[in-house]
Structure 1
């Protein structure tokens, strides 16, 4: 019974409901009996007052007529009520007129019980008056049987208790049955279904369950369990996948993995670790770490592992012997705690490839990949060491070598031929290198000889130094046969002596580079020794480079305009000229800074600025009515600018931003552009002409191009160089050249413009020779935009007059 009670929720609920119904019935019955007893005196008073009302009139008449017999009959009739013990009628003098008593019966209740239940005295009395007249005739007094009344109360309440008990028990049974139908049986069905749940279908219940409980708590419980079961199934699958994935990762990891317990016994060993340790996992399972191959290292490591804090890592390196080969390994050790158990994981990585890679990187870092010579970094390191170890009265030399015309060969024949040529040159120079001398490649075609201890005097006439230089120059100038090509190159060399007192290696390198630059200026295929006066030239050039970068950044360049006029003095256009006013040196001649800008590659940015500023200014003048559509703005483009791949894009960009029509622009190029690459130049000139831009050949007559190209070039005008115009009056040769250029231009239907027209005699002579377009100081010097505006306004005023 107890076992069933513990197992069955329904039995527990039924017993609880039954006990609760009985207890509730008892409590309610007791409470009802208590209220009945409390109200019983009032009920008794009311009941027997009603009884007296019946006999009141007959007894009043009997007292009035003094009819004792009739009164006695009335009194005795009252005794038919078993609750009345005695009935007494008193006359007006309070003497007994009639009296009757019920026979005494053996009591079923004790007086104590009766007195406890009915504590008040139970007697009922009433005055008897004559009918219609308030004249007292006497009174009647009834004595009630307390025990009888209590027995009636007990009998009534007992019956009521039994009725309530039966009703409550029936109600408890009905509720238990309803609970069984509504809750217990569905729960049993759900429990039975949960016991047979599967991974695919989840919880499967009878159809009636879903019909009755699809929307109630049990239905939601089933849905919730299905959802939880699905999540649990997915979690278990994910956990299993993770477990399998972790096992696969550990098993197939490239690094060796060994897991130790808190006693440093081997628990897990993957395949990579087996190969590194040359033992199988079965042979190492549950063995102490110190029994692993190379036990001395593991013994020393064991103390460190025990002292290692939890959640901390450490790294160690060792070398393992495997099949007569030494394998360097790195071991990264982590200590952690899982479920209260401390474990160690050792990640062992084979460092063989890394060590080899470090060696390769070291070679790449300090040696040239093509020639296998030391590179700049290693050479500087050797130079620094040489300076620090320099003895008194001794000196060294840094010799910088640069191949002449190598870039031409490299660009024309390809980098592969260039690389092979470098190898041929290096092979020829290596036998010439003195002992204890570093031969390094520091750039594309730049080499350095670091001679740490030179014999003789620290002078240009040093015999051993000059002999070495001459042998190197001779070797470089010998023909080289590379893949069917006979190649000829020469070398320029710069020498800088040092004795260890120099500020730094950079100083020595800069001096050697300055000397090399001087050798280039001397005509190449030669050598120059560094002199102090070279430094000032080098510093000035470096300062010029810095100033040019600053000028470009701070927009210090200004565009000037020199008018171009016809034979009547009318303006036909203007040439754009670049001016630069340095903060310290003032205006610097374009002849001074343009070559430097070309060499360091700033000419493209400067030319772009000139294009943008000049087109925007002319577009503004055109809107203001100062610039006529028949005028042209002439913009010089250097050969390096013209060869730039983005020149056409820069021109189009300037025209688009300014809104200036292309027909108002004239691009001036020199004959050098035609000499470098005629086909490419011709294609680019055609593209400019397609935009509507005019083309002029500037400084015509100073170049060396063939005149036959003129008939095929898409040009509109020739500009006679001012060097011919300046001495036109006095020099017959210049006169003949100018006359020939004018005649040739007329024959080719080209316009011609003379530069450098500075005097009236120049102007008149050129008119007589058939040249009708001019530019020079005779008309105006190059002026800023503001002055050019004034010039144009004054010109317009003169025309009006």
Structure 2
């Protein structure tokens, strides 16, 4: 065995300096082993990788098959310089690699593409600096992770996310992105763009009568007509059910937006054919101009929708006015403050006298809600609509009824007898539809001991039109308590004579718009005279609102009006003042 080992060992040469002499082929064998290890390492990697050596000209020292496949190049064929590798000599990878090699970073990673317009690939590219061996050139590991499938899937998903599946148009997200891009453009010029909000009329009617499929068909056809009315540079998107948004570039100012609206109206003049029917569909259009005062696409579209809401009422294209958003914010603020005021009983009732015109004595008072907030009075014309819109009118109405009845009971107690006067309380249409008015009135009468014939509930014509059957049921139920019913602002709505005949109305209140103009306008006098004649024929009493002079009071007395109300007699008074007013006038 020793002989075998000796046979394998080769004699070691010693040079003149006493050092071991390196055999001529040892360097080549060691180099080959190192290269084989490097190649094996690269081949074992699941990603495309290559080792780049920094020499007079950077070159690929070795690479794995995945790298050769992606790079469409093979260093084993002789051309190793990175300037010869297609994926490195075009696009950002080669340039960034050179910068990295000349720098001091240990590693660097970024996302990029290979620069091809067609069938391009996407990569996560990573550079890493390898440990330097003394006397050897610097080496770097270049790896490419192919993200093409992931990127394409994300693009596809994003495209679907930004596309309306029914019409094929961009959806609200895509529209907002485009508008935000315009606002963020450093070259953005105020007034250079506008957004139109277009709402289809009668769409819900089509859906109800013909079904969802017909509604979808109408939406698709409607969208195509909108496209035909726009310029190639305009962007059309479906922003909600039957609402569309349009981003317009304004070359000649607001007139461009108005002309676009006219073109849209024009393409809708022809009827839409659905199945065997022809249906005419119009639209309402609101416009908002992009300017420095808006910060996002949502705000611009909301502004256009403010204008759209007004356009629906007016029947013409409307342009957003900043005061509209301020008014909406004010209404929301009022809603919050009003809710707190109702819960904390911060509101008060004021009482305006109702005077019998033939005797001049006070026959009753109308209870009116008053709200003082932060040291100033909030007009009822501001907070009552907010209460109705938010539903707070139910709580407000309950409070007003119970407070008015309790005040009447307190007056009786102060006088030591049941006073010959009543109180009128307004009943909102929303309160009639949402609240149990019968139980509410019954509870208020029972709690105060006041007889029902001293309470008058005032309803408006709009309440009767809104839900005539429910109103009739509620008002007839009131008659079980002998409560009187007054129709407020008569003559300003659309109440039919049939409604007057069917409903248990006791008093017609003539709106002050007719009353205050009687002395100067013969037509107003004729209208009031007609209402008074109608009331007498139906056995009803009448109250004239807005009496502001003695001459007007005398004219109404001569015409046979029962009661008068207005600043000629007194403004709305606090409870104690109203009691004193009654006692003095009726003494």
Q: Which TM-score bucket, shorter chain as reference?
A: 0.5 to 0.7
> CA separation of 1:732/1:509 partners in 2, compared to 1, >3 Å: closer, same or farther?
closer
Aligned counterpart in structure 2 of residue 610 of structure 1, from 393, 400, 413: 400
Deviations 1:706-759 (A, max 9, x none): 324322222111112223332444544333332322222122111222222333
> CA separation of 1:399/1:740 partners in 2, compared to 1, >3 Å: closer, same or farther?
closer
> 1: CA distance between counterparts of 2:377 and 2:451?
32
Aligned equivalent of 1:160: none
Shift of 1:449: 1.6
Aligned pairs for 1:272-671 (under 5 A) are 373-389=169-185, 391=187, 395-404=192-201, 409=205, 416=212, 422-432=219-229, 434-435=231-232, 437-451=234-248, 454=249, 456-457=251-252, 459-462=253-256, 465-476=257-268, 478-480=270-272, 487-498=279-290, 502-520=294-312, 523-524=314-315, 526-530=316-320, 534-555=321-342, 556-566=346-356, 567-583=358-374, 586-595=376-385, 597-599=387-389, 602-622=392-412, 624-625=414-415, 628=418, 631-642=421-432, 644-646=433-435, 648=437, 651-652=440-441, 655=444, 658-659=447-448, 662-671=452-461
Alignment partner of 1:461: what SS?
helix
> 2: CA distance between counterparts of 1:367 and 1:649?
53
Aligned equivalent of 1:767: 557
- Given that residues 563 and 575 in structure 1 are in contact (C-alpha distance below 8 angstroms), is that contact kept between their aligned partners in structure 2? yes
> CA separation of 1:364/1:455 partners in 2, compared to 1, >3 Å: closer, same or farther?
closer
Higher share in helix: 1
- Given that residues 394 and 434 in structure 2 are in contact (C-alpha distance below 8 angstroms), is that contact kept between their aligned partners in structure 1? no
Residue ranges of structure 2 left out of the alignment (5+ in a row): 1-43, 47-153
Alignment partner of 1:542: what SS?
helix
**1:712 and 2:502 matched:** yes
> CA separation of 1:418/1:675 partners in 2, compared to 1, >3 Å: closer, same or farther?
farther
> CA separation of 1:431/1:737 partners in 2, compared to 1, >3 Å: closer, same or farther?
closer
Which structure exhibits the higher relative contact order, with contacts defined as CA atoms closer than 8 Å and separated by 6 or more residues? 2
> 2: CA distance between counterparts of 1:576 and 1:396?
52
Aligned pairs for 1:7-46 (under 5 A) are none
- Given that residues 557 and 581 in structure 1 are in contact (C-alpha distance below 8 angstroms), is that contact kept between their aligned partners in structure 2? yes
Aligned pairs for 1:93-132 (under 5 A) are none
- Given that residues 564 and 775 in structure 1 are in contact (C-alpha distance below 8 angstroms), is that contact kept between their aligned partners in structure 2? yes
- Given that residues 431 and 437 in structure 2 are in contact (C-alpha distance below 8 angstroms), is that contact kept between their aligned partners in structure 1? no
> 2: CA distance between counterparts of 1:468 and 1:674?
42
Shift of 1:544: 3.9
Deviations 1:173-213 (A, max 9, x none): xxxxxxxxxxxxxxxxxxxxxxxxxxxxxxxxxxxxxxxxx
- Given that residues 477 and 491 in structure 1 are in contact (C-alpha distance below 8 angstroms), is that contact kept between their aligned partners in structure 2? no
Deviations 1:258-317 (A, max 9, x none): xxxxxxxxxxxxxxxxxxxxxxxxxxxxxxxxxxxxx998xxxxxxxxxxxxxxxxxxxx
Aligned pairs for 1:156-235 (under 5 A) are none
> CA separation of 1:744/1:469 partners in 2, compared to 1, >3 Å: closer, same or farther?
closer
Aligned equivalent of 1:750: 540
Aligned equivalent of 1:335: none
Alignment partner of 1:561: what SS?
strand
> 1: CA distance between counterparts of 2:317 and 2:441?
47
> 2: CA distance between counterparts of 1:413 and 1:691?
44
Decide which moves more: 710-719 or 599-608: 599-608
> 2: CA distance between counterparts of 1:653 and 1:441?
52
Which has the larger Rg? 1
> 1: CA distance between counterparts of 2:161 and 2:554?
70
Aligned pairs for 1:672-751 (under 5 A) are 672-690=462-480, 692-751=482-541
> 2: CA distance between counterparts of 1:612 and 1:411?
45
Deviations 1:509-552 (A, max 9, x none): 3443344345446x22x32344xxx2135324422431343133
> CA separation of 1:735/1:497 partners in 2, compared to 1, >3 Å: closer, same or farther?
closer
Pairs aligned (count)? 433
Q: CA RMSD in A?
A: 4.2
> CA separation of 1:710/1:518 partners in 2, compared to 1, >3 Å: closer, same or farther?
closer
Alignment partner of 2:255: what SS?
coil
Deviations 1:39-68 (A, max 9, x none): xxxxxxxxxxxxxxxxxxxxxxxxxxxxxx
Residue ranges of structure 1 left out of the alignment (5+ in a row): 1-294, 298-357
- Given that residues 754 and 774 in structure 1 are in contact (C-alpha distance below 8 angstroms), is that contact kept between their aligned partners in structure 2? yes
> 1: CA distance between counterparts of 2:349 and 2:210?
41
Aligned equivalent of 2:51: none
- Given that residues 390 and 500 in structure 1 are in contact (C-alpha distance below 8 angstroms), is that contact kept between their aligned partners in structure 2? no
- Given that residues 753 and 771 in structure 1 are in contact (C-alpha distance below 8 angstroms), is that contact kept between their aligned partners in structure 2? yes
> 1: CA distance between counterparts of 2:528 and 2:304?
47
> 2: CA distance between counterparts of 1:612 and 1:410?
46
**1:782 and 2:572 matched:** yes
Alignment partner of 1:554: what SS?
helix
> 1: CA distance between counterparts of 2:207 and 2:361?
49
> 2: CA distance between counterparts of 1:359 and 1:627?
84
> CA separation of 1:755/1:392 partners in 2, compared to 1, >3 Å: closer, same or farther?
closer
> CA separation of 1:528/1:683 partners in 2, compared to 1, >3 Å: closer, same or farther?
same
Instruction: Provide TM-score, normalisation by structure 1.
Output: 0.47
Aligned equivalent of 1:226: none
Shift of 1:583: 2.5
Alignment partner of 1:493: what SS?
strand
> 2: CA distance between counterparts of 1:422 and 1:630?
64
> 2: CA distance between counterparts of 1:759 and 1:439?
60
